Amino acid sequence: MTDPNINNDNIIDPVMSDLSLEDQAQLFQLLKVEAGMTLTMRKNGAVANGIDVDIAQVTFNNMDEGTKPLVVDYKIVDGTAVFQENKLTTIRKHTNKSLSSTVQLINLTPGKGTIKATPYLNPKMAPAPVEYEFIGKPRKLRIDITVHKNGQYSDGIDNNGFIATLIDENTNKPVSDEVLNFELSSDKAYFWVGGTKISRTTDPDGKATVQVKSSANADISLTLTVSLASDPSVTQSVVVTFKARPPKLVLNITVNDQYSDGVGKNEVLATLTDYNNNPVSGAQLELKLTGNAKFTNGTTISTLPTRSDGTFNVGILSAANANISVTYTVTLVSDRSVTKSVVVNFKVKPVAKPEFKISRIKDTAVTSKTDYGNVRAFITLPAGTPAQKYNIHFKKYTNPYYPGTFRNYGITKTKSWGNTSTLDIPVTAAGGVTNVDAWIWYADGTDFTQGGLSFFQADLLDANGQVIYSDIHGAWTTFTGQAKPVTPQPEQKAPVVIQYVSHMDYGLTGSVTIRTVYQNTGNIAPNTEFFLHGSTFPSAVSGPYYFGFTGGGSIGTTPGIEYHNGLLGVSNGSGLATFTWKISTRPQQIIMNAVEPSNRRLNPTVTGKVYINM
């Protein structure tokens, strides 16, 4: 770069009238025939380091000693040097009292160039340009190694990466187009193209890059050495490390969401394999639970080895009796970076709902408070159900279709007379069947002309007094004591009535037992044929219905209690059901009506009940 104020390339003689008197005097001195000007390199061959200098000197000769300082313009004509004072290629200087001046040149690049000097007032007087030279030092090279990646897995897949850079320390600049030799100290590793030796040429940034791999599947360490092919004394080394790829740990929850009752067991399968998916056997695993749970051995932390197939299965129990989540963590003891966790869940075990019904165990033949009837309540709980507290409430039930015939009665817990209309019996029931008896006592029969069927209801209440289930059953009473006299009729001509005997429940079906007796004596009326007619089934219940008598519809002639079974039920159906049906006999055509209560829900997914009341 030149100084824009200095331009002596186009030499123009100054006009004397344009000069000051002082400049005119100097010009006269310069124009003297004997006046002369020289340009020499007072110091040449400096080191091209930007610090050492070459020195050019101008001297004027044969001029009066009183001549004042002259102006000289210096210019570096070619080459890469600049003036040290202004770092430009042009500069203006004044001579000293001896009519001499000097300039200093610096350079960063070895080589030659030329410099010229021109007097400002008489450019034609300028001497010929002179040559300068800068000398370069011998190269001082070094190799720097940058670790891009190291410590990768020795699995033949991952690679370590290294960058070698060649630097000239004299200029602190990279050196390109030089060959570098790379060599590994062990055959446990290799370059990405194969082998333990490779050569690479530096790029414009002086860099050469290599990748190193290993398939040892082990922790290894070796040396990578880089040297300059043209001068092997220029060398550098770095340590290369690899590590074995850790096994893969996988946890699979095979059983989950069990009851937190100390019995339900969640299960988790741990599988340990190497990077080739081969099982790792005998590896010690640390098993740990965080939360309200334990392993089946009663601990919350254990250390156990994998089996020959690389697996280990555990069972996890919780007795929290709550909906909880538990964290199960497995860690490889030899490498704790190999760890996995899963969350297993437990849920509250629902309180087992009991099945409940009552049945008539014994009818009564009342002879002035000396006999009793027996109604029994059955509570059925699944096996293993813990003990639970209930309350059974017995009371009379008024059946709108068959109100019954007695007026005075009592319900007692034991075989002793009582006249209470209701009875509460606390009971503790566990898995299995628990039964509770109520004793039905009647007043004497002086107000009655005949026995009859009366219904009783039993409610099952939970510990909070809430009704869980209700059931209804009839108890037949025959009065043989002080009944009012009635006019007997010939038995064979007396009316035949249908009597309810009992019923049984079969899941979604029910069975009712009935009998025909002579009204005046209560004796069995044999050879009676039963008929079903007028049956109505609700549209609200889905699924096929069935009802009928077994055995063709007629009873036998064997003396004794003659009876017949009727079936009522719904298969594969659900919903609220009200069944209306009639039974009649022939030839008397005596009709009995029966209605299935509408508040009963039939559910095909569980063992249900069908209640047949008569």
Instruction: Check if the beta carbon of residue 467 is closer than 8 Å to that of residue 436.
Output: no
Across 272-292, average pLDDT: 92
**In this predicted model, which residue has the larger pLDDT, 68 or 103?**
103
Side-chain-facing half-sphere of 452: CA atoms under 13 Å: 18
pLDDT tens digits for range 157-194: 999 999 999 999 888 899 999 999 999 999 999 999 99
Residue 256 has pLDDT above 90, yes or no: yes
**In this predicted model, which residue has the larger pLDDT, 375 or 233?**
233
Q: How confident is the model at residue 471 (pLDDT cuts 50, 70, 90)?
A: confident
Across 47-57, average pLDDT: 92
Instruction: State the Cα–Cα distance between residues 200 and 385, nearest whole angstrom.
Output: 80
Q: Is the dihedral of CA 16, 17, 23, 28 positive or negative?
A: positive
Across 541-551, average pLDDT: 40
Residue 562 has pLDDT above 80, yes or no: no
Residue 613 has pLDDT above 60, yes or no: no
Residue 587 has pLDDT above 50, yes or no: no
How many angstroms from the chain centroid is the CA of residue 114? Answer: 79
Instruction: State the Cα–Cα distance between residues 248 and 280, nearest whole angstrom.
Output: 9
Across 55-69, average pLDDT: 80
Q: What is each CA distance from 57 to 72, 376, 471, in whole angstroms?
A: 11, 139, 133
Instruction: State the Cα–Cα distance between residues 198 and 232, nearest whole angstrom.
Output: 15
- Token pair of 218, please? 């082990």
Q: What are phi and psi of 552, to 5 degrees?
A: 90, -10
- pLDDT for residue 516: 62
Q: What is each CA distance from 548 to 238, 497, 503, 568, in whole angstroms?
A: 98, 20, 14, 7
579 DSSP β-pair partners:
none
Of 199-213, 439-453, 580-594, the poorest mean pLDDT is in 580-594
Across 304-318, average pLDDT: 93
pTM of the full predicted structure? 0.40
Domains belonging to the chain, first-starting first, are 21-134 (2.60.40.10), 141-243 (2.60.40.10), 266-346 (2.60.40), 355-475 (2.60.40.10), 494-519+529-534+563-613 (no CATH)
pLDDT tens digits for range 208-218: 999 999 999 88
Q: How confident is the model at residue 5 (pLDDT cuts 50, 70, 90)?
A: low
Residue 482 has pLDDT above 60, yes or no: no
Instruction: State the Cα–Cα distance between residues 217 and 153, nearest whole angstrom.
Output: 7
- Token pair of 30, please? 């310069």
Q: How confident is the model at residue 411 (pLDDT cuts 50, 70, 90)?
A: confident
Range picked from 116-120, 369-373, 500-504, 561-565 for highest mean pLDDT:
116-120
Instruction: State the Cα–Cα distance between residues 214 and 264, nearest whole angstrom.
Output: 49
pLDDT tens digits for range 86-143: 999 999 999 888 889 999 999 999 999 999 999 988 888 899 999 999 998 778 899 9
Of 45-49, 102-106, 148-152, the poorest mean pLDDT is in 45-49
Where does 398-495 show beta strands of DSSP type E?
409-412, 422-429, 432-442, 452-461, 467-479
Instruction: State the Cα–Cα distance between residues 519 and 46, nearest whole angstrom.
Output: 150
Instruction: State the Cα–Cα distance between residues 458 and 391, nearest whole angstrom.
Output: 10
Specify the amino acid at residue 214.
Answer: S
**Mean pLDDT in the chain?**
76
Long-range CB pairs of 218-221 (<8 Å, 24+ gap) are 218/154, 218/242, 218/244, 219/154, 219/243, 219/244, 220/154, 220/186, 220/188, 220/189
Where does 90-129 show beta strands of DSSP type E?
90-94, 100-106, 111-119
| Closest-CA residue to 437 (of 428, 448, 425) | 425
* Residue 542 neighbours by CB under 8 Å, 6+ apart: 572, 573, 574, 575
Instruction: State the Cα–Cα distance between residues 577 and 355, nearest whole angstrom.
Output: 19
Residue 73 has pLDDT above 90, yes or no: yes
